[in-house]
Amino acid sequence: MPATDWGWLITPEELSGWILQVTPDLLVLNKPPHVVVHRSRFGPWSSLVGACREYFGDDILRMPFRLDRETSGVLLLARTRETGSRLQRAVQYKAFRKTYHAVLTGHLEAPVTVTGPIGPDAGAEFYSRRTVVEAGGDTAETEFIPVASGGGYSLARIHPHTGRRHQIRVHAAHLGLPIVGDKLYGPDPSLMLRFMRERMTPELLQQLLLDRQALHCTQVEFDTERGTEVFSAPAPHDLAAFVRTHIGCSWD
C-alpha cells in the first residue's frame, strides 16, 4: 500500500489479491493488517469498503461485522440488501460464531474461559482503553485454547462468546498473556504514547516485535435460513513467520 502522511492507500492490484470469494451477492476478503474497513475522509481507496465500491462498482455494500485496523482475517461484504439482512439477523440473534487465532506473550497451559465483565479503565491515559471490572461493566466471555507454545509465546485459538469492544485483547491481558504487538493492552502502556507521538520507529518495533497486534480472524459462521454458512481465511504471512521463528512450529 502506498504510504501517505496519514496512513495507507489501497491499490487495485492489492485488493484483487485479498479476494477469497466473489458471488453476485457477496464478497469474501482476507483483510490484511493496517487496513481501515469503514469509509474515511481520505477518499474511497483509503478504506476497504470504499476500495471495493470503486473496484466492483457496487452501490450497496453491507458489513455484518467489522475488524479493527490492526486485526487481519476473513471479512464479508454483502452486495445485496437481502444478503446483508440475512447475515445481520444471524448476528443480531446470536446465531453467529467467530474463531480467532492470536499469538500471546507467555505460556497458555490449558484451555481457559474468561468471564470477567468489561468496562472503561478509569485510570488509563487513553479513553478507549477498557479493562475487566469488579462491578458494573458489560458481560463478556472468551474461550482461549492452546495450539502450541515455545520460546515464551503461545499460539491460541480463541472463541469470543460475546462481542464487546476490544474483548479478546482485554481478556488476554487479564490472563497475564497479552497479545504480541498490542500497544494498548501490552505490559508497557507507555508504548502506546510513544506510538502516538512518533509512529512506528525501529526502536519501538524492536520492543513490540510486530508492527501490529498478533490477532487474526480465522473463521466466521452464520446460522441462517440457508443453513450454516461458513467462511474462513488462511494464516497471515507475518504471524505465520513469527510462529515459525519464535514458537518453532507451523501455523496450519
Q: Inform me whether the pLDDT recorded for 106 exceeds 90.
A: yes
Query: Average pLDDT over the chain, rounded to whole?
Result: 91
- The model's confidence at residue 251, banded by pLDDT at 50, 70 and 90, is confident
Looking at the chain, the domain(s) classified CATH 3.30.2350.10 span: 1-93, 97-221+232-252
Helix (H, G, I), strand (E, B) or coil at 44: helix
Q: Which residues are catalytic?
A: 68
Averaged pLDDT for residues 111-128: 87
pLDDT band at 60 (very low <50, low <70, confident <90, very high): confident
Residue 3 clears pLDDT 70, i.e. is over it: no
| Selected residue with higher pLDDT from 192 and 13 | 13
The mean per-residue pLDDT over the stretch 180-204 comes to: 83
How far is Cα 214 from Cα 45, in angstroms, rounded to an integer?
Answer: 25
pLDDT in the model for residue 96 = 95
Contact 68, 41 (CB under 8 A): no
* Bridge partners for 102 per DSSP: 156, 215
Q: What is the mean pLDDT of residues 85-108?
A: 96
Question: Rounded to whole angstroms, what are the CA distances from 121 to 67, 68, 69?
Answer: 22, 19, 21
What pLDDT score was predicted for residue 5?
Answer: 54
**DSSP assignment letter at 235:** P
3-state helix vs strand vs coil in the chain, percent to 5: 25, 30, 45
- Its CATH class, for the domain covering 1-93, is alpha beta
Residue 6 pLDDT > 80:
no
- pLDDT tens-place string over residues 70-84: 999 999 999 999 999
Q: What CATH code would you report for 97-221+232-252? A: 3.30.2350.10
| pLDDT per residue as tens digits for the range 207-232 | 889 999 999 999 999 999 999 999 99
Rounded Cα gap, residues 248 and 59, in angstroms: 46
pTM of the model as a whole: 0.93
- For residues 86 and 227, the answer to whether their CB atoms sit within 8 Å is no
The mean per-residue pLDDT over the stretch 159-172 comes to 95
